Structure 1
Amino acid sequence: MTDVKVSPPCAAAAAIFPCRCSNTSAGVVTLSCDGVTEASVATRALQAEGYGANPLGAFHLRYGTVAAVAADFFGERSFEEVLLHHNRLDAVEALSLEAMKDDLVTLNLNNNRLTQLLLTQLVY
């Protein structure tokens, strides 16, 4: 018998707008909040109902003006890839990546204004 994969669902487009969600037949879900100016927009999209089980494939928050990632930013949502590059991030609060400690494979923080390293969050 062939094992059939079913793509996990995305949250409703209206609930996460202006963010976008896509999934592939391989089951990779990507939530993209590129270009947003306030972290609350991405937080609302992350907390929306309707996604598949953790971990999701990727979260993109690129080319925006978000300045900080709060400790509860991701909530219990976990991703294998998190791209936070080309923003104005000067702080990523402790424990913001806690839910992802077993799932996170790629983290990109390039081209931000970070003043403190996140190594204590990422090394267990």
Structure 2
Amino acid sequence: MPESNDAFGPAAAASTCQGQITEKPSHYTYLKGFRVDQCSLFLQHKCTQHRPYTCFYWHFKNQRRRRPIRKRDGLFNYNPDAYCDKYDEQTGVCANGDECPFVHRNAGDTE
């Protein structure tokens, strides 16, 4: 997974507080990429991390996450404190699509 110089990239990981790194690079990898892409191995019925579901990628559409993106105004592309009332948890579809400014809860997603 390529890293970039955005809000979750190496520059952010290198920011220090009294000389200490504030976050591990692997945490940024999860913040940026966890379950934002579909698992190609699952599509081929070859994912060994399906049961228990520990795969980094999504298997069913209702497990899919949107990649958090920091916009020019400094805010992220969705508000983590306000839930969407148009998101269907069963199908994983929102009427507003990926541009929806609200959180999509995944109550059926079990770890």
Normalising TM by the smaller chain, what interval?
Answer: under 0.3
The structure where strand makes up a greater share of residues is 1
The structure where helix makes up a greater share of residues is 2
Of structures 1 and 2, the larger Rg is shown by: 2
Q: TM-score, normalised by structure 2?
A: 0.23
